[in-house]
Amino acid sequence: MDSNPEDETSYTTQYQEAFLKYVENENWAKHRRAPVNELETVPRNNLLPSATTSGSCQSSFDPYHLSSSDGECLMPNNVAEMTPGRSDPAACVLTTASLYLNWPPDAPNNWGQIDSNLNDYQSSQMKIASTFWIPDITDWWRQQEETHSKYANLSNVAHDMFSIIPDGVGVEASFSFGRGDLGWSQSKTTGQTHREEVVVRQFARDNNGILAVTDPEIDTINTENDSVMNQEAGEMTLHRMSRVHDILEMWQGSENLRAAQKKSRA
């Protein structure tokens, strides 16, 4: 999944390749199989749609075709030929993803109640607040799923993807994490300090909130410090106990002396 900017392939091709690989890996992970790392054996350009491929893998709606056997999926012939041993649901989803990507973007007018003028960020600024999130593409994917359309296989992938909040992804997650670490009043904190704090917090979060590491070599200092502190605490306790013991002895001695004086008087 290398994305070398100097590569001759465009960003579009790189993103398309990365997306297809992600979809395939996700699909294979759901089927409890080994992750797929060598997708290069599948020439994706040959998976691309023609006008007649819309019916592939769409005979009945079955996400990822879990109930179908390996041979039941109706794939294009070129896919079956070029992916030996891959005539399975993963190949179906991959084909659907390729078909989806190479089909032109859908027009908002096809969405029924949606006004194309209220499409996106290009609308006037006064309308951004209310129209930026229109249309809701989850309805579109739900419609694909319910109508068993040619993209129905991909709807589960869309469900998984869109359940992720944007603040928890990639660089936005780091930004949100840093914002939570640095309050608005801490304007004098340097970037280096802030970076170190974020790294420490990130490390603690990845280790279930535990900052102490399990490596005994690294943890030696903490162990020694803990033993010294425990020893000092023990000595303090003994010292207090000895003082109490001395007081008790003095009290007992004074009691004995008082009893002896009473006897002598009597």
Partner 1 sequence: MSKTLTVTSHHLITVYNDMFDHMDGVMQAVAQNKTQWKEDLCFAVKLARQELSEYSAKVTATTGILLISTHLLDPLRKLRPF
**Tokens at 109, concatenated:** 């007018």
* CA separation for the pair 246, 242 (Å, rounded): 6
Residue among 172 and 255 whose Cβ is closer to partner 1: 172
Contact present, 27 and 90 (Cβ < 8 Å)? yes
Q: Which is nearer to partner 1, 170 or 183 (CB)?
A: 170
Minimum separation from the CB atom of position 154 to partner 1 (A): 8
> For residues 164 and 266, which CB has a smaller minimum distance to partner 1 in the complex?
164
Q: How far is the CB of 109 from partner 1 (least distance, A)?
A: 11
By beta-carbon proximity to partner 1, the closer residue of 136 and 249 is: 136
Type of residue found at 69: S
Q: Which residues bind partner 1 (CB under 8 A)?
A: 1-3, 10-12, 14-19, 22-23, 100-101, 103-106, 108, 119-121, 132-133, 135-138, 140-141, 154, 157-158, 161-167, 169-172, 175
User: Residue 85 and residue 237: Cα distance in Å, rounded?
Assistant: 73
The type of residue at 77 is N
State the minimum distance, in angstroms, from the CB of residue 161 to partner 1: 5
> Under a CB-based contact definition with an 8 Å cutoff, are residues 81 and 91 in contact?
no
DSSP 51-69: TTGGGTT-SS--GGGTTS-
Cis bond before residue 135 (omega within 30° of 0): yes
Closest of 89, 80, 71 to residue 30, by C-alpha: 89
Of residues 12 and 69, the one with the C-beta less far from partner 1? 12
**Least distance (Å) from partner 1 to the CB of residue 86?**
21
* Cβ at position 238, least distance to partner 1 in Å: 57
